[in-house]
Chain A
Amino acid sequence: MATKYSVGLRNAQLDVISGASGIGGSGLLRIYSGTRPANVATAITGTLLAQLTLNATFAPAAASGVLTANAITGDTSADATGTATHFRIWKSDGTTAVIDGDVATSASDLNLTSTSIVITEPVNVTSLVITRGNA
């Protein structure tokens, strides 16, 4: 059986994501089509559809083992047409990858108003939520 962590410990682990050793301030959310890479260290192969800048403070303190990102300003003009399947969050330097996740319109890590991205059309996030496992 996997190790189990208290709520307090899971919250503390999640809060690290918002700090300097995680995303830090004003990270970049890049949304892609295609196949999600095996892990964050694996190069992206998908088509870059849109880029959004995360809040200067990524998220408020985690609660109940869940970290919910602060509001994210939409991308007013998508860069390519395609179906969004996954995302990667980078530090504000744009070259340090931090988190990979799935994209959908509900019940996913990143939820968009639509996963059908159309070039020059807006791209808007409804929620970005990270749940710590090992509960």
Chain B
Amino acid sequence: MARKAAAHRYRVDDARGNVMWEGEGDDYKAVPPEFRDRPGDGEPAHYIYQLADDGEAVLIGVQRSEAEEAELLAAQYNDQESGTDGN
């Protein structure tokens, strides 16, 4: 009898840690498309976690609006230009 692959658990939070969705599937495409896609401008980012066997939530990706990602990249670029250490 064929063995079914073990399902993985996933969770999607907003930036404040509020759970937007939680579920399981064979791979992360089990996460609903609306959370795997970028949010619209002004909507909260989607923090996608996969839950390890020990319960640890491992961040596997963040879906941000295009405007928020551009802002983040600009901030990182400015930090590099000024020589600021992240700390």
Query: How many residues from A make CB contacts under 8 Å with B?
Result: 23
Interface of A is mostly: loop
A55 → chain B closest CB, angstroms: 16
B13 → chain A closest CB, angstroms: 13
Query: How many residues from B make CB contacts under 8 Å with A?
Result: 25
Q: Is B58 an interface residue (CB 8 A)?
A: yes
Interchain CB contact (< 8 A) of B64 among A44, A47, A119: A47
B 40-75 contacts with A by CB, 8 A: 48, 50-53, 56, 58-64, 69, 72-73
Are A79 and B37 also in contact (CB < 8 A) when A46-B62, A47-B62, A95-B56 are? yes
Q: Please list the residues of chain B having a beta carbon within 8 angstroms of any beta carbon in chain A.
A: 8, 27-29, 33, 36-38, 48, 50-53, 56, 58-64, 69, 72-73, 76
12 CB-based A-B contacts, threshold 8 Å: A34-B73, A45-B62, A46-B61, A47-B63, A48-B48, A48-B60, A51-B27, A51-B29, A79-B29, A93-B8, A94-B58, A95-B50
